Amino acid sequence: MTEILRIREAADYVRQHLGTADICIVLGSGLGDYDEALTNVRALSYSDIPHFPVSTVPGHAGKLLCGDLHGKRVMMMSGRFHVYEGHDLRDITRPTRVMALLGVKVLILTNAAGAVNTGFYPGDLMLISDHINLCGKNPLTGPNLDEFGPRFPDMSNVYDKELRNLAQRVAAKENILLREGVYTMFAGPCYETPAEVRMARILGGDAVGMSTVPEATVAVHSGMKVLGISCMTNMAAGILDQPLSHEEVMETGARVRDKFRKMLDGIVTDLTL
């Protein structure tokens, strides 16, 4: 079966069971329960959607939800797919293609990341201004899906400038410190070495993480606008004299939950589509 047929089958299934939406929010570590904010909600397990991969990470439930949020129709992906799980980038980004076919105009990507910028602190939120792809792969490799976008897409405004301005306005209104910086993607699953973190900093990175870049790339190729927000769950490896752990990442994620939710509430409320 060709990729476009897989995407269409998945999109038809989602449309039939959940309807459509204008906004999709991908919930990263720590934001997993933001789906509670949806009303008139309908949900599907990823395992029920044709051609969706199945998430294997603890804390990533693997559900697609659709409902109302502050007067908008919103899909939420609770659980995402990562390169380190062994998925192909085309599989990881198929849900993003499905969102494009369903008419989603704005994709909001959230994640947990390690702070590379030594001026940041664990618990800070960072608006992604741009990214560096160091995962060694690109989700657009292979035959171009002409239905979605061109072979050589422009990447000079991946994280939409107007949406970033909107996020900064919301942060100011809510009195939330919102950093802004470059997200550097490594494939994982191991955390980076201190040398890799120094390299990321020299290259211009402010944060390191293991997601987001594939979805953002495919969203731009599909003509969607993208907003990305990272939660700095820890200082990246080698900055502090202590090892990194998944528990620390989850704990900080839980601590900033309310701040992160406020940001998303404000952004969805103020978004004009």
For the annotated catalytic residues, the residue numbers are 29, 60, 82, 84-85, 112, 210-211, 234, 246
**Minimum distance between the CB of residue 145 and ligand HPA, rounded to whole angstroms?**
29
Contacts of 52 (CB under 8 A, 6+ apart): 10, 46, 64, 94, 95
Stretch that binds ligand HPA, among 19-27, 110-118, 144-152, 218-226 (CB under 6 A): 110-118
Please list every residue from 223 through 252 that binds ligand HPA, using CB under 6 A.
Answer: 233-234, 236, 244, 249
Our finding on whether 113 is near ligand HPA (CB under 6 A) is: yes
89 binds ligand HPA (CB under 6 A): no
The CA-atom distances, in angstroms, between 251 and each of 23, 238, 246 are 28, 20, 9
Half-sphere exposure of 96 (CA within 13 A, CB side): 30
Binding characters for ligand HPA, 190-229, by CB under 6 A (x = yes): -xx---------------xxx-------------------
Residue nearer to ligand HPA on the CB measure, 98 or 249: 249
For 228, phi then psi, to 5°, come to: -125, 135
Least gap, CB of 11 to ligand HPA (angstroms): 30
263: closest CA among 128, 113, 73?
Answer: 128
Cα Rg, the chain, nearest whole Å: 17
Which residues within the stretch 42-71 sit at the binding site for ligand HPA (CB under 6 A)? Answer: none
User: What does DSSP assign to residue 133?
Assistant: E
Inter-residue contact 258 to 31 (CB < 8 Å):
no
Q: How far is the CB of 59 from ligand HPA (least distance, A)?
A: 12
Strand partners, 44: 64
* Residue (209 or 266) nearer to ligand HPA, CB: 209
Paired strand residues for 112:
231
Nearest of 234, 127, 137, 249 to residue 187 by alpha carbon: 137
Residues 163-192 that bind ligand HPA (CB under 6 A): 191-192
Residue 25 and residue 31: Cα distance in Å, rounded?
10
Is the CB of residue 228 less than 8 Å from the CB of residue 270? Answer: no
Q: How far apart are CA 174 and CA 158, in angstroms?
A: 25
Is 24 a binding residue for ligand HPA by CB under 6 A? The answer is: no
Q: Which residue is nearest to ligand HPA (CB)?
A: 114
Say whether residue 125 binds ligand HPA (CB under 6 A).
Answer: no
Nearer to ligand HPA, 78 or 222 (CB): 78
Least distance from C-beta 246 to ligand HPA, angstroms? 8
Residues found near ligand HPA in the complex (CB under 6 A): 112-114, 191-192, 208-210, 233-234, 236, 244, 249
